[in-house]
Structure 1
Amino acid sequence: MEEEDVRVGANRYGERQPLGLSAQSEDGKDYREPPAVPLFEAGELSSWSFYRAAIAEFVATFLFLYVTVLTVIGVAKSPSKCSTVGTQGIAWAFGGMIFALVYSTAGISGGHINPAVTFGLFLARKVSLTRTVVYIIMQCLGAIAGAAVVKGFQPHTYERLGGAANTLNSGYSKTSGLGAEILGTFVLVYTVFSATDAKRNARDSHVPVLAPLPIGFAVFLVHLATIPVTGTGINPARSLGAALIFNKHQAWHHHWIFWVGPLIGAALAALYHQIVIRAIPFKSN
């Protein structure tokens, strides 16, 4: 089985409707609507490429939390934000890391790095249920590990400054926080669908090469808009990792917002792209 897997290539059970760089077709211009991915693909579980992709999601989310949580802690630690990267720098850290990590992992796992993105792609039948569950588990574990390493570096500072855990900021209601998370995640997942659309690749071959850039930029812009409201979650793994390692009441008080909001936003983005933009349900076979 190992020899066959190597012979046919590492992506034997890769995404049928892939993200990022792997979305390029061999012929470049001809396009045919790919079939929906089966709900269950038993063959994935016996393929090294499946586990390699899961490991890539773990490592990418680990690195994402490591860099971004350190950035947030560094800004919070400084008595004057002018002496650090400041709020805009936090947004750049999140957006820049997503850009780098999507670029690095797109051809291996699709570069999800976010349970909301994985969930949206599952609803659009671009990934199987098996891959969806495993990806989300690995993303959450990677996020927990990344936040744990930051706490290990500076435990007292980490505890004192809130561990970069997402919380609903004072002056905002739960409805406002939930709405910010829904809309922020909608922007992100809609950008993912648009930037990695295989049909666009058939017309504009440069689009998949540039896919990580608009995705990272969308994360940057959403952080600028919603840091004052919720600190910006739009990624349940990021919120879970920081909350679990910090593990104080304020981190868990409104934690549900950072799961419910992103999942609703991802579902709306998937429906909008598939039904309105692509009109796939109305196309004849």
Structure 2
Amino acid sequence: MKKYVAEFIGTFVLTLFGCGSAAISGGIDGVLGVLGIAMAFGLSIVAMAYSIGNISGCHINPAVSFAMLLSKKMDVKDFVGYVVAQCLGALVAAAILMGIGSMCSPVIEGLGTNGFGDASYVGLSMIGAVIVEIILTFVFLMAILGVTSTEKFSSVAGIVIGLTLAFVHILGIPLTGTSVNPARSLGPAIMAAVGGDTVPISQVWVFIVAPLIGAAIAAYVWKFISEGKEA
């Protein structure tokens, strides 16, 4: 149970600070811009990795947990527990973000949701969004699998993973808002629907399916290239 609580907290922090930075700062054209928002997501990972990493491994992302399941580094029971905790953490964070936005003047309605088509800053198509999210998640998971494959990298793993998340956000934010994390996408999409905006929830399937595909590809590619090399 402690592992699940840790995953709830970690995903809560990632969603609140990452999505919150995007929504409250005014998005791409706001005060933080792409780089600032990307760093908010990345630094959230760094902070959580060094606080809950020794408890749950700091997945805080169903795609990461899925890759670990496929890599036989966790069992089905823990996978289900992690995913439920992650989705709940993201949902609570989105609800709090919505509450904070409602107390601003003027009211801030954005929740840092993901999207394609008219919901994409550059009008990326649905197929483009699927491809982008698969690639971004693949790169992110390859970094995670690589840096966690040996004890000698343990002291810097959180920094590497956080910077890699920021790295993929720099490209992905104008395209899809960058998901690479089904929980981070689902929580804000649900709360946006509660607030009357149904576009994010109608598109969220892309940001659930594509990251899981990217994670699966990364797990099998890593297994192929690293077989006999992990220490």
Q: TM-score, normalised by structure 2?
A: 0.90
In structure 1, the partner of 2:157 is 211
**Pairs aligned (count):** 221
Residue by residue over 1:196-234, the C-alpha shift from the partner in whole angstroms, topping out at 9 and shown as x without a partner, is 103xx2xxx3x1110011101110010001111100000
In structure 2, the partner of 1:120 is 67
Q: Please give the residue correspondences for 1:232-247 in structure 2 after superposition, counting only pairs within 5 Å.
A: 232-247=178-193
Residue by residue over 1:41-65, the C-alpha shift from the partner in whole angstroms, topping out at 9 and shown as x without a partner, is xxxxxxxxxx101100001111111
In structure 1, the partner of 2:208 is 259
In structure 1, the partner of 2:52 is 105
In structure 1, the partner of 2:112 is 164
Q: Shift in Å at residue 99 of structure 1?
A: 1.3
Provide closer, same or farther for how the CA distance between residues 159 and 143 of structure 1 changes in structure 2, counting only shifts above 3 A: farther
What amino acid sits opposite 1:189 in the alignment?
L
Residue by residue over 1:7-40, the C-alpha shift from the partner in whole angstroms, topping out at 9 and shown as x without a partner, is xxxxxxxxxxxxxxxxxxxxxxxxxxxxxxxxxx
Q: Which runs of 5+ in 2 are unaligned?
A: none
Q: Contact (CA 8 Å) 1:159, 1:246: kept in 2 or not?
A: no
What amino acid sits opposite 1:246 in the alignment?
A
In structure 2, the partner of 1:12 is none
Q: Shift in Å at residue 256 of structure 1?
A: 1.1
Q: TM-score, normalised by structure 1?
A: 0.73
- 2:218 equivalent to 1:272: no
What amino acid sits opposite 1:269 in the alignment?
A
Aligned alpha-carbon RMSD (Å): 1.9
Q: 1:185 aligns with which of 113, 137, 153?
A: 137
Which stretch shifts more, 172-181 or 115-124?
A: 172-181
In structure 2, the partner of 1:222 is 168
Q: Which runs of 5+ in 1 are unaligned?
A: 1-50, 281-285
- 2:149 equivalent to 1:197: yes
CA distance in 1, matches of 2:219, 2:102: 40
Residue by residue over 1:55-77, the C-alpha shift from the partner in whole angstroms, topping out at 9 and shown as x without a partner, is 00001111111111221112227
Percent sequence identity is: 35
Q: Contact (CA 8 Å) 2:133, 2:178: kept in 1 or not?
A: yes
Q: Shift in Å at residue 174 of structure 1?
A: 1.1
In structure 2, the partner of 1:87 is 34
Q: 2:7 aligns with which of 57, 63, 68?
A: 57
Provide closer, same or farther for how the CA distance between residues 112 and 74 of structure 1 changes in structure 2, counting only shifts above 3 A: same
What amino acid sits opposite 1:164 in the alignment?
G
CA distance in 2, matches of 1:57, 1:270: 21
